[in-house]
Amino acid sequence: MRLLSVSPVAGPARLGWLDALRGIAALVVAFDHSSSTFMSDFRRELMPEFNTSRYGIMVFFLVSGYIIPASLERRGCVRTFWIVRVFRVYPLWAAVVVVTLVLGLFGVARIRDFGAEEAGAVAVAHVTLLQELLGTPSLLLVLWTLSYEMAFYLLVVALFTVRVQRPATVAVTLAVLAAVSVTAGVMPQDSALSGVTGTGPLIAFGSIAMVAAICCASATPPALRVFGGVLGGVVALVLVCNGTVPLWESLVILAAMFLGTAVHRAEHGRSTWWHAAGTAVVVVVCAVWSAYWYGDGDLFTRRGWILAFLLAVLTFGIGLALRRRHLPRPLTGLGVISYSVYLVHPVLLAVIAGTIARRWQNNLALEAAFFAVLIPLCVLTYRYIEAPCHAYGRRLGRRVQPP
């Protein structure tokens, strides 16, 4: 098996520049987390200057914003969209969660302590992927971003069902709200809504409402589709106010995703490049303003977050500019397995943390060895878990799609 010789199963042609961006983002996030184990001193010095994790995550969000709404519009069917999404996101997620729990049960890996929270509620919150927004800590740290992905899906479906295709307006509105909230001192505590309603009731509400929204939006009667879409959008907006990241950053994350959508529309002639550029300026200015006003912390610093966000937008812009160029196969290959890299690397780190980590800190050779093990492992998880499930999801989606 040639390393990174993976290729997607038959289907629509892949966008190489997006794969390259995904590959870069996944490697940076994996480096950020692995360096805390193998190069902790270096990471402590780097984080105040450049928040590597936020850089990689923001690149991911921009890419998702670019491609996800386009996928829905191309298919024109909410039911097909959700089926394809489920088979892209959940199979590897389920495998990673099960492996993590089994390893934790046998004491091989360290897993998060959920305190007094009921196991059933924690499980339900995770199955919705909204656990970050339902007041429940993620089993693996990286899973928090999937909550924002799910919230974005719900918002995109909401806009699609009511036939509002103005991502630039949405991006600007969210970005301005972020700047206004932090300037006005509207800084609710982490999971503030959970503190009012209780975690259990919020999980029950969020999970039931999400399932109802998806089912209704996937139904045939137009009125029911609109109701489901609007319900999902409202739920997403409410829950975004309950994240463990500051409210302004939650809003910036969604604004960045809709910025990606605005760029896609400009590229395909549905808007102007000036419109997309103006949206980018507003989002960047509001994000930088918000981060500046938020202030400094241990690992969250103004300059570290701001530099990460600016470089993420710049990286996306460079990728866009090179979209018609031939890109190196190893780089696009990393993009193909990027979801595996993103989800598998914390499991590998959890095993290391539960076994040898304390004896092997500040060791560059082990950092390199970690990636030498991770990449081939992710090639296998893509080939034997992701790719077959992607193919099945597409086939099933075609079957249920109206002619």
Q: Report yes or no: 351 and 109 within 8 Å, Cβ to Cβ.
A: yes
- For the residues 225-247, what does the mean pLDDT come to? 92
The whole-number pLDDT of residue 176 equals 97
- For the residues 337-364, what does the mean pLDDT come to? 82
Q: Report yes or no: 289 and 309 within 8 Å, Cβ to Cβ.
A: no
Q: What's the chain look like in SS3?
A: CCCCCCCCCCCCCCCHHHHHHHHHHHHHHHHHHHHHHHCHHHHHHHCCCCCHHHHHHHHHHHHHHHHHHHHHHHHCCHHHHHHHHHHHHHHHHHHHHHHHHHHHHCCCCCCCCCCCCCHHHHHHHHHCCCHHHCCCCCCCHHHHHHHHHHHHHHHHHHHHHCCCCCHHHHHHHHHHHHHHHHHCCCCCCCCHHHHHHCHHHHHHHHHHHHHHHHHHHCCCCHHHHHHHHHHHHHHHHHHHCCCCCCHHHHHHHHHHHHHHHHHHHHHCCCCCHHHHHHHHHHHHHHHHHHHHHHCCCCCCCHHHHHHHHHHHHHHHHHHHHCCCCCCCHHHHHHHHCHHHHHHHHHHHHHHHHCCCHHHCCCCHHHHHHHHHHHHHHHHHHHHHHHHHHHHHHHHHHHHHCCC
The whole-number pLDDT of residue 350 equals 87
The whole-number pLDDT of residue 8 equals 45
Between residues 92 and 136, the one the model is more confident about = 92
Q: Report yes or no: 23 and 335 within 8 Å, Cβ to Cβ.
A: yes
Instruction: With a cut of 60, say whether residue 366 has pLDDT above it.
Output: yes
CA geometry: angle 109, 132, 397, nearest 5 deg? 95
Q: Is 1 helix (H, G, I), strand (E, B) or coil?
A: coil
Residue ranges of the domains in the chain?
A: 16-395
Instruction: Indicate if the alpha-carbon torsion angle 68, 74, 75, 79 is positive or negative.
Output: positive
- For the residues 325-347, what does the mean pLDDT come to? 93
Per cent of the chain over pLDDT 70 is 92
Look up tokens 């989606």; give the residue: 397
**E strands present in 91-209:** none
Q: Report yes or no: 6 and 382 within 8 Å, Cβ to Cβ.
A: yes
Among the ranges 11-15, 121-125, 364-368, which has the highest mean pLDDT value? 121-125
Among the ranges 174-178, 182-186, 239-243, which has the highest mean pLDDT value? 174-178
Give the contacts of 8 (CB within 8 A, at least 6 positions apart): 14, 336, 387, 390
- For the residues 240-264, what does the mean pLDDT come to? 94
Of the candidate ranges 43-57, 143-157, 370-384, the one whose mean pLDDT is the lowest: 43-57
Summary mean pLDDT of the chain: 89
Backbone angles phi, psi at 337, to 5 degrees: -100, 15
Instruction: With a cut of 60, say whether residue 2 has pLDDT above it.
Output: no
CA 374 vs. chain centroid, Å, equals 20
Q: Which two tokens stand for residue 14?
A: 């892949």
Q: How many CA atoms lie within 13 A of 245 on its CB side?
A: 21
Instruction: Output the CA torsion 82→315→261→327 (10° steps).
Output: -70
The whole-number pLDDT of residue 298 equals 47
Instruction: Write out pLDDT tens, residues 188-197.
Output: 777 778 878 8
Backbone angles phi, psi at 76, to 5 degrees: 70, 20
Instruction: With a cut of 90, say whether residue 335 has pLDDT above it.
Output: yes
- For the residues 11-34, what does the mean pLDDT come to? 85
Q: Report yes or no: 11 and 336 within 8 Å, Cβ to Cβ.
A: no
Q: Is 270 helix (H, G, I), strand (E, B) or coil?
A: coil
Instruction: Write out pLDDT tens, residues 276-317.
Output: 999 999 999 999 999 988 865 544 578 889 999 999 999 999
- For the residues 115-143, what does the mean pLDDT come to? 89
